[in-house]
Amino acid sequence: MSLRTKALVIIGVALLCMAGLTYVTSRFTFMRGLEEIEERNTSKHVEQALGALSYLISDLEVDTADWAAWDDTYAFIEDGNDEYIQSNLVDETFITLRLNLMLFVHSSGRIVFGKAFDLENEEETPIPQDLLAHLSANSLLLSRAATHDFTSGIISLKRGPVLIASQPILTSEDEGPARGTLIFARYLDSGTINELAQLTLFPITVHSTSEEAYPDFKEALASLLDDRPIFVKPLDTEYIGGYALIKDIYGKPGFVLRVEVPRDAYQLGQVTTSYYILSVLGVGVLVGAIAMFLIQKQVLSRFTRLIQGINHIAASGDTSTRVTLGGRDELSLVAGTINGMLAALEESGERYRALLNLGAEVGEAIIILQDTEQGDGIHTFVSDKWSRITGYFERELLGMPFFDLIHPQHREASLERHQRRMRGEIISGLFEIVIIRKNGTEVPIELTSARSIYLGKLANVIFVRDITERKQAQEELQVLYEQERDLRQRLEEEIQKRVEFTRALVHELKTPITPVLAATELLLEEIKDERSLRLVQSIDRSASNLNRRIDELMDLIRGETGMLPLNLVSVEVVSLLRDIGYEVMPVALRDGYSLTVDLPSSNPVVSADRDRLRQVVTNLLDNALKFTPAGGDITLRAREEGDNLIVEVQDTGPGISKADQERLFDPYYRRVEDRERLSGLGLGLALAKKLVELHGGQIWVKSKKGQGSTFGFSLPLETASRKEE
C-alpha cells in the first residue's frame, strides 16, 4: 500500500471514528436526555388523562347525587308514578346528561325503572343483561353501611368499560332513610373517549384487561401489574405511548389506558443529531482534504522526489550522483544521510576498482558476471586486463554475455559451471577453457570463480589468467620429452645390442680359452724340459690373464645390467686384508717392492660379499704393482672413519693426471701412457667401482703426476647399518 493510500485510509478511518463518536455521544447524552424528557412528558399526559377520567366519573357522581337526593325521586321510587317518568326520564335527559343508563332500584332490590340509551343513534336500547350481575342483594352498587355511602367508578361489561355511579335515594334535604339506589352509567365508548381526548389533547384508548389487546398493551399490563404507576414506551418514531392501570369499582385492575403522545421533541432531536453529524462529517472531510493536500505537498511529493532520485542512482549505478532535496525537515536529513552513504559507497567502489585492477598487476584479469534480463552471465564489471586479453573495449564487454566469448566446445560446460556457482554449489578450483578474441584468435585461459554480491545483486566474480605462454611451454616440454623418450629408447636398444654383443663375445672367448687352460695345466705337470716348461708357463699366464679379463668383462656387464648378485655376509675386514697381504707379499718381494700392511687394532665388520671384496682389493694391489716401477713402496691400509671403513692402496708410481683421474673409473679407459701395454682392457677399476657401489660405498683416487697414487674406497660398517635399523 502506498504512503498516499495509507494517509487516505488513516484520514478516512479518523473521519468515520469522529462521526461514530459524535453519533454515540448524541445518542447517549443528547437523545437520552430527550427521551427522558419525553418519558416524563408522556407520564404527565397519562396523569392528565387519568385526571380527565376521574373528572368524568366525579361529574357522573355529582349528576347521580343531584337526582338521587330529590323529593320527586324519593316519591317515585315508592310509587313509580308515571308523571315522573314522563317529565324526567325522557330521551332528552339522557342526551343532556350524556347518560347511557339509568336504574332506579328500590331498597327491596326491585328495579322500579331502568332505561338504556344509545347516545349516538339517540334511541333506547335494552339494558345490558350482564349489568344485572352487579346488582345482587349485597352488591357494592346497592348495599351501603351508612345512609350517605355511594359508589362510583368503572365496571367492565361485555360491550366495554362503563363509568358508573350509585347514590342512595334521599329527600331533597339529603335525609334518609334511603329508599333505594339510583345508578347512572355512561359507556366508555368512542364518544366518551373523544371527550377524554379533548380534555387531554391526545388520542386515548382504553382496553379491558381481560380483553385480547395489542401486544404493546400486554407488555404495558405486565409492567403495570408490577406496581409501576405509569408505563411509557415508544409506539413508533412518531408516537409514544403512556399507559396506566385503571381499577374497577371493586379495586381490581380492570383496564389499561393508553395516551398516544406525538414525539415532537424526539423527532426534532433526531433531525438535529443528523444535521450535527453531517456538519461534523463535512468539517471532517474539509479538514481531511486540507490535511491530505498539505501531506501531499510537504511530505509525499518530497518523498517521491527522494525515491525517484535514489531509483535513478540505483538504475544508473553511478555512485557519484547525489540526491537533491531542499528544506530543513527530517526528509532533507534522510537525503543528507543517503548522500553520505553514496559518498562512502563511491569511495569503497573506487577502492574495490583499484583492488581489482591490482589483480591485473599480478597477471589476473577480474570480471564480474551477473544474471540480468539480458541473459545469464552478463559482464557487469571488467578489469583493464580482461579488455587486453579479449581485445574488446570495456564498454563493448559490459552488457555482453561472457559465454559469447567462449569457444563453442567449452561454452556449455562453462555456462553450467556458472549456473552451479550462482546456485552456491561447491565446484572444484581451476578451470581451463579457450576464448575467442575480437580478432578471431584463440586464447587459452585458466579461471577460478567465487560467488559474491555486487551492486546489491548476486554475482559471480571470476579471476582469469592468460595461460598462452604456459601452454606453449607445456607443448615445447612435451616435444622435448618425446624427443628424449625416443633417444632413451634408442640408447637402451643400443646398450642392449652391446650387452648382447659382449655376451656373445665373452661366450666366444670363453669357449676356446677353457680347453687351453685345462691343457696347459696338464702340460705343466707333464713337461720336465726347462725351456718347454717356461713356454708352457708363459702360455698358462697369458691364458689365465685372458680368462680373468673375460671374467672382468662378464662381471662388468652383469653389474651394468643389474644381474650381479652379492652374497652378503659379515666380514671381519682386518683378517681378510691380512690374508690378501700374505698372498701378495711373495710376488711383491720377488719383484723388489716393499709392501706395508697397516691395519687397525679394532675388529671392524662390514656386510659384504667376501670374494668380491677380495677382488676389489686385489685389483687395486695388482694395479699398484703393475704401474709402479720395481723397487717402489706399496702400502695396504685400513681404518675406521665415522660410520665407514676406509681401505686404501698407496703406491709410489708415476701418478695420474687430473684429466685421467676424472675418467679412470670409466670402462675401457686407460692412461695414454699405458695404452700400448697389452695386458688390461681398462675394466678393472670400472668393475671395482661397480662392486663398491653395490656394497653401498664409494671409490676414489688421490694422485699427482710423478708423486704416486692412492686408491681408496669406503664401506659402511655393520654396526652403523645396525644402528640405522
Would you tell me which residues interact with ligand ADP (CB under 6 A)? 623-624, 627, 651, 653-654, 656, 664, 670-671, 674, 680-685, 709
Residue 529 beta carbon to ligand ADP: minimum distance, rounded to whole angstroms: 33
E strand residue ranges, 169-211: 180-187, 204-208
Instruction: Cell 493536500: give the residue.
Output: 293
Give the span between the Cα atoms of 369 and 398, in whole angstroms.
10
Residue 510 beta carbon to ligand ADP: minimum distance, rounded to whole angstroms: 18
Residue 628 beta carbon to ligand ADP: minimum distance, rounded to whole angstroms: 7
Q: Which is nearer to ligand ADP, 277 or 664 (CB)?
A: 664
Q: Which is nearer to ligand ADP, 385 or 690 (CB)?
A: 690
Find the helix or strand (DSSP H, E) in which 296 lies.
none
Residue 689 beta carbon to ligand ADP: minimum distance, rounded to whole angstroms: 9
Residue 489: CB partners within 8 Å, gap ≥ 6?
none
C-alpha cell at 403: 559465454
Q: Is the dihedral of CA 549, 555, 556, 557 positive or negative?
A: positive
Residue 694 beta carbon to ligand ADP: minimum distance, rounded to whole angstroms: 17
Q: Which is nearer to ligand ADP, 273 or 623 (CB)?
A: 623
Residue 123: CB partners within 8 Å, gap ≥ 6?
91, 117
Q: Which is nearer to ligand ADP, 653 or 716 (CB)?
A: 653
Q: Which is nearer to ligand ADP, 270 or 661 (CB)?
A: 661
Residue 610 beta carbon to ligand ADP: minimum distance, rounded to whole angstroms: 21
Q: Which is nearer to ligand ADP, 135 or 613 (CB)?
A: 613
Q: Which is nearer to ligand ADP, 73 or 623 (CB)?
A: 623
Residue 679 beta carbon to ligand ADP: minimum distance, rounded to whole angstroms: 7
With 0-12 / 13-18 / 19 or more C-beta atoms within 10 angstroms meaning exposed / middle / buried, residue 462 is: buried
Q: Which is nearer to ligand ADP, 555 or 718 (CB)?
A: 555
> With contact defined as beta carbons under 8 Å apart, do 708 and 650 qualify?
yes
Give the span between the Cα atoms of 146 and 403, in whole angstroms.
132
Best CA proximity match to 224, nearest among 206, 202, 242: 242
CA-to-CA dists, residue 724 to 646, 716, 721, angstroms: 19, 11, 5
Return the DSSP state at 667: T
Determine the Cα angle at 283 with ends 281 and 285, to 5°.
65
Q: Which is nearer to ligand ADP, 397 or 617 (CB)?
A: 617
Return the DSSP state at 28: I
Find the helix or strand (DSSP H, E) in which 518 lies.
helix 468-526
Best CA proximity match to 651, nearest among 667, 629, 634, 676: 634
Instruction: Cell 701395454: give the residue.
Output: 677
Residue 683 beta carbon to ligand ADP: minimum distance, rounded to whole angstroms: 6
Residue 680 beta carbon to ligand ADP: minimum distance, rounded to whole angstroms: 2
With 0-12 / 13-18 / 19 or more C-beta atoms within 10 angstroms meaning exposed / middle / buried, residue 478 is: exposed
Q: Which is nearer to ligand ADP, 460 or 615 (CB)?
A: 615
DSSP helix/strand/coil, 672: helix
Instruction: Cell 581489482: give the residue.
Output: 356
Looking at residue 535, its amino acid is L
Residue 490 beta carbon to ligand ADP: minimum distance, rounded to whole angstroms: 28
> With contact defined as beta carbons under 8 Å apart, do 584 and 624 qualify?
no
Residue 655: other Cβ atoms inside 10 A: 16
Residue 612 beta carbon to ligand ADP: minimum distance, rounded to whole angstroms: 16
Residue nearest ligand ADP (C-beta atom):
680
Q: Is the dihedral of CA 109, 110, 112, 118 positive or negative?
A: positive
Q: Which is nearer to ligand ADP, 315 or 672 (CB)?
A: 672
With 0-12 / 13-18 / 19 or more C-beta atoms within 10 angstroms meaning exposed / middle / buried, residue 379 is: buried
Residue 444 beta carbon to ligand ADP: minimum distance, rounded to whole angstroms: 55
CA-to-CA dists, residue 658 to 65, 364, 702, angstroms: 185, 54, 9
Residue 611: CB partners within 8 Å, gap ≥ 6?
567
C-alpha cell at 295: 501531506
Residue 712 beta carbon to ligand ADP: minimum distance, rounded to whole angstroms: 12
Q: Which is nearer to ligand ADP, 165 or 664 (CB)?
A: 664
> With contact defined as beta carbons under 8 Å apart, do 683 and 669 qualify?
no
Residue 527 beta carbon to ligand ADP: minimum distance, rounded to whole angstroms: 30
Task: Please give the span between the terminal C-alpha atoms of the chain, in angstroms, as a whole number.
Answer: 85
